[in-house]
Structure 1
């Protein structure tokens, strides 16, 4: 079964600057939500079926950076498989607001953050 990249995320200590940078660089629309701490959903303008994303503030030091989210059918199974392959669980399965499913985050053996979305 295929596991497509489904979402991207850019986290920054200055998320408003990052939102403006990417919007102006690529012509993306960023819809920041004050109720989510200024986190903004990104419309890349690439039409139906395009991968969407988000740009927002960091919650903890060391979170800044870019993360891809891969669609998987079972978060726990994917986290267990990642651990068996030398990865580590960073964020346990967590519900997303608005009924958008659940996510988790792992670190690959080199420490790169990879998101999982179910």
Structure 2
């Protein structure tokens, strides 16, 4: 069985502008996440089975864009396997605030960032 896409994230140098853009274009609503400065949770309005997301401020040059997070059972094992398959680790495993689990981020062989979420 495959691993599902569990979350999306849009990173921007102008997150307020991007929040307004997606709200106007798709009717999404956003709400500030008080545990993460400048981060907004996205509700696509597509119901309980929709993939949730977030909009975040850029943390450095070159980190803007859209990233998916894939649910994994073994964060360290899948991170190692990604490396064996040619990925580079961009963010080593870290705990998410609020008990939401742990994440890591890799760059696939083409350089696309992909989050792993356990």
Fold shared per TM-score above 0.5: yes
Gaps of 5+ in 1: none
Between the aligned partners of 1:35 and 1:72, the Cα distance in structure 2 is: 24
CA distance in 2, matches of 1:71, 1:89: 17
Unaligned runs of 5+ in 2: none
Q: TM-score, normalised by structure 1?
A: 0.95
Corresponding residue of 2:77: 77
Question: Displaced runs of 4+ in structure 1, greater than 3 A?
Answer: none
Deviation at 1:65, TM superposition (A): 0.6
Describe how 1:61-100 pairs up with structure 2 within 5 A.
61-100=61-100
Corresponding position of 2:115: 115
C-alpha separation in 2, matches of 1:97 and 1:25: 30
Q: Let me know the Cα RMSD of the aligned residues.
A: 1.1
Kindly provide the CA deviation profile for residues 45-77 of structure 1, in whole angstroms up to 9, marking residues without a partner as x: 111111000001011211111000000011111
Q: Give aligned pairs, total.
A: 118
Using the alignment, how far apart are the partners of 1:32 and 1:92 within structure 2?
Answer: 25
